[in-house]
Amino acid sequence: MKYYLFLIILYLTTGLMAQEEAVSYEERVDSLYREDQVYVGVTFNLLSNKPADFSQNGLSAGIQAGIIRDFPINKRRNKAIGVGIGLALDTYNQNLFVGEEVAGNVTNYEILDDQINEDVNRFTTYTLEFPLEYRWRTSTPTKYSFWRIHAGVKLGYLFRFKSTFQDASTDVVRTDLPEINNFQYGPSFSFGYGAFNFQGYYGLSTLFNDGAQIDGDNVNLQVIRLGLIFYFL
């Protein structure tokens, strides 16, 4: 009798301990997890909405880095809103020459002739970015590699612009252009598995305002970025 009573007590005690450990484990791994993430991206940069005879040449590339705060919106926590901040550095090699200011503080813009053998002619932009995303993933509290789809918008403040032209005898650098659109925005997306993801961005705002013209036509130019983005917890 004492033997059976001992087994019953041992069984109940073991069961309660296992239940407590399971609850403790579940609380530990499911304690309102979220995907707060640092991101680093690399892109190939294109320009659309171009003036006549405008063309890109060489490699135009960019790099982005920042952090996104995750706000889950369902019980499973695989759907969320992401709000972030980051920096982007982008280069654009092309044939648009940005010259000195002329009358009325208007900058001289012109398309370079094919006969001009420039060593460098590019734009470089530095942008403070604010991504806002809807985020869907196949994550669980204990699964760290999963499929994800992020879609949203990026708001940006272009705080520095640099145009560089160099040839054998000339070096022209412009950094303070009144025709630059400092506020940039457009839809963005990323998708992939684990840390390896594709990304894209299409700028709805033009790089230059209506003050930038070539023979009475607006320069405009809109940014398209395609590349890879890597997320780290």
What are the boundaries of each domain within the chain? 1-31, 33-232
Find the DSSP H helices in the chain. 2-29
Q: What is the pLDDT of residue 40?
A: 96
Say whether pLDDT at 194 is over 80: yes
CATH number for 33-232: choose from 2.40.160, 2.60.40, 1.20.1740, 3.40.210: 2.40.160
Q: What is the pLDDT of residue 107?
A: 86
Q: What is the pLDDT of residue 170?
A: 82
pLDDT band (50, 70, 90) for residue 23: very low
Q: Mean pLDDT of all residues in the chain? A: 85
Q: What is the mean pLDDT of residues 138-157?
A: 90
| pTM for the model | 0.83
Is 207:218 a contact under the CB 8 Å cutoff?
no
Q: What is the mean pLDDT of residues 134-146?
A: 85
Is 116:65 a contact under the CB 8 Å cutoff?
no
Tokens of 214: 């070539």
pLDDT in tens, 99-123: 877 666 678 899 988 777 778 899 9
Asked which of 7-16, 39-48, 185-194 is least confident by mean pLDDT, the reply is 7-16
Among candidate residues 175, 100, 58, the one with its CA nearest the CA of residue 110: 100
Residue 154's beta-bridge partner residues? 131, 186
Percent of the chain clearing pLDDT 70 (strictly above): 85
Among candidate residues 140, 93, 141, the one with its CA nearest the CA of residue 121: 93
Is 86:106 a contact under the CB 8 Å cutoff?
no
Backbone angles phi, psi at 232, to 5 degrees: -130, 135
Q: List the Cα angle 108/114/120 in 5-degree steps.
A: 65
Say whether pLDDT at 26 is over 50: no
pLDDT band (50, 70, 90) for residue 200: very high
